[in-house]
A and B are shown apart, each in its own frame.
Chain A
Amino acid sequence: MRRLFRARGAELIPQARMSGPMPWVIAIMVAMTVIALAAGLALGNAVSSAKAEIEGGVTIQILEPRADVRAAQARRAVDAIKAMPGVSGLRLVPQAELDALIEPWLGTGIATATGSAVPVPALIDVRLKGPANPQALSIIEDALKPVAPSARVDAQSNWLKPVFDAMVSLQLLAIALVALLALALTAAVLLAARTALGTNRDTIEIVHLLGGTDSQVARVFQRSIGYDAAGGGAVGLALALVVILSLSRRFAGLGAGLVDNGALIWSDWLLLAAVPVLAILLAMVTARLTVLHALRKML
């Protein structure tokens, strides 16, 4: 029975093979869907890995203008926290690093120029085993009050909350875009199937009257549309990959931590590759249902 469809040069439905507009519409829709999906996935990865990284993070600032007092309080604070349970990491940020942090704003050599260092708070990075929730913070504050009265305790996640919020809303936007594009892709495929049915209606009817079964006719049709969708899907995926890879190289070049963490993992790539496959399946199922529906009306 396959011979009906395979015979050389005897394609029942003439194969347009990327010559009509439909494969290209599908290609563009697939490309945009894949890109939007990649953006959504990358943002999701960035948000969750950054979250995990700073969830247990606490920053302690010693806000004390006198350098010697500040250093003494910082030392005592470090000792006090070392003695606390539930702390997995602790680091007193060295003065050189602090200088480097403010250098972009104040320039180098301020200490030598004015004869006295600009009073920069001492910074202690603390990593908790659990999340840095308000209870954890108040325990630390209570422990520090007697030894380092100038200490201010903040959860790192508080500082970055606006950034997270922005990233999450970008991610939501990406998800909404994927949904819209998937919808448009479905519509494109539906239109493609309808158009193909319209142009091949005579052929379908003739084969039907010569004793072709519904599924025989549907299979021919399905295969023809499957080819178109596969061509479009492959082109679209290739296009999207080019865009994604070159963009990710740009971002990697930025060296900013949050973006690096947004790298796509293998399951993300699988998901992206599934988009054209889904488009092909959708096209074939749509074609099949459209033909079967038309045939039912024919008797």
Chain B
Amino acid sequence: MTADGEIIHFDNVGLRYGTDREVLSDLTFTLFPGRFYFLTGASGAGKTSLLRLLYLAQRPSRGAIRMFGTDAITMPRGRLPQLRRRIGVVFQDFRLIPHLSAFDNVALPLRVAGHREDDLAGPVRDILDWVGLSDRIGARPPTLSGGEQQRVAIARAVIARPAMLVADEPTGNVDPDMAQKLMRLFEMLNRQGTTVVVATHDLDLLRKVPESLIMRLDRGRLSDPTGALRYPPRKVQ
């Protein structure tokens, strides 16, 4: 199955950690560019595990994954960094580097991609301003509140304008107003072409993005109540 314009395709993917039972089973779906996806499911259903496959932190135990038109399973290791740079990730546990300032944490993806120092200061300040942290630019993560750390993590995920944004419970630590605001940031990026995948069990969040598509994980198996995963819905706009 090769759908034109697909960004991700999973074919019969399964994942087990070690020799345990499979935490993800028989996943077959396609993600299309420019869409906004929510991934829901109970705690322990496998949301983080699925996202780890998406941001190339993990190989599946079985099945095939195609990303950006290339086979992600057989691809040589050396090509993975290029792919990862097209994916922005908000980790469930933030994973900020504790001894770097908020500024340097956010600048990291740009530095990794080789951007010049002069070119990155402006955008980094802008995005930190956007998430309401302009006065905490020099603060180190351990001195930030949970919500502030989460916003730094989001800023880092979007700073390089990734083709795909993968966010694991990105609003878990912020108040509803900030959650709303962050969703608007994601929507804005989405409107500029970024495919967004947000894992959450906050059903209110789903309603905040009316054009979103929903995937539901139930004990490692995927269902798509909107039926939008296999057949590309008519293009929005």
Contact = CB atoms under 8 A, between A and B. Distances in A.
A9 B138 CA distance: 11
B111 A3 contact: yes
Interface of A: 1, 3-4, 7, 9-12, 14, 202-203, 205-207, 209-214, 216, 296, 298-299
Contact of B57 (A3, A14, A299): A299
B117 interface: yes
B84 A211 contact: yes
A7 B121 CA distance: 12
A4 B58 contact: no
B112 A4 contact: yes
Highest count of chain B CB atoms <10 Å: which of A12, A205, A211, A298? A211
Nearest to B120: A3
Nearest 5 interchain pairs by C-beta: A211-B85, A211-B84, A10-B104, A4-B111, A213-B81
Given A203-B97, A210-B84, 7 more contacts: A10-B101, A10-B104, A14-B99, A210-B112, A211-B112, A214-B78, A299-B57
A65 to B, nearest CB: 89
B82 interface: yes
Contacts, number: 69
B27 to A, nearest CB: 18
A205 to B, nearest CB: 8
Interface of B: 55-59, 77-78, 80-85, 89, 95, 97, 99-101, 104, 107-109, 111-117, 156
Contact of B114 (A1, A296, A299): A1
Contacts of B111: 3-4, 7, 10
Contacts of B99: 11, 14
B89 A7 contact: no
Contact of B112 (A9, A11, A214, A216): A216
Which of the listed residues A10, A14, A299 has the most CB atoms from chain B within 10 Å of its own CB? A10
A9 B156 CA distance: 18
B101 A209 contact: no
A209 B104 contact: no
A213 B104 CA distance: 18
Contacts of A210: 84-85, 89, 108-109, 112, 156
Contact of B101 (A9, A14, A203, A216): A9
B104 A211 contact: no
Contacts of B59: 299
Contact of B58 (A10, A214, A299): A299
A84 B207 CA distance: 117
B96 to A, nearest CB: 8
Contact of B97 (A4, A12, A214): A12
Given A1-B114, A3-B117, A299-B57, A212 B81 contact: yes
A17 to B, nearest CB: 14
Contact of B56 (A3, A12, A299): A299
Nearest to B112: A212
Given A7-B104, A9-B104, A10-B104, A211 B97 contact: no
Nearest to B109: A210
Nearest to A2: B114
A207 B108 contact: yes
Contact of A10 (B77, B82, B107, B109): B107
A209 B97 CA distance: 13
Contacts of A10: 100-101, 104, 107, 111
B95 A202 contact: yes
28 contacts: A1-B114, A3-B111, A3-B117, A4-B111, A7-B107, A9-B101, A9-B104, A10-B100, A10-B107, A10-B111, A12-B97, A12-B100, A202-B97, A203-B97, A205-B95, A206-B95, A206-B97, A209-B84, A209-B95, A210-B108, A210-B109, A210-B156, A212-B81, A212-B112, A213-B78, A213-B81, A299-B57, A299-B58
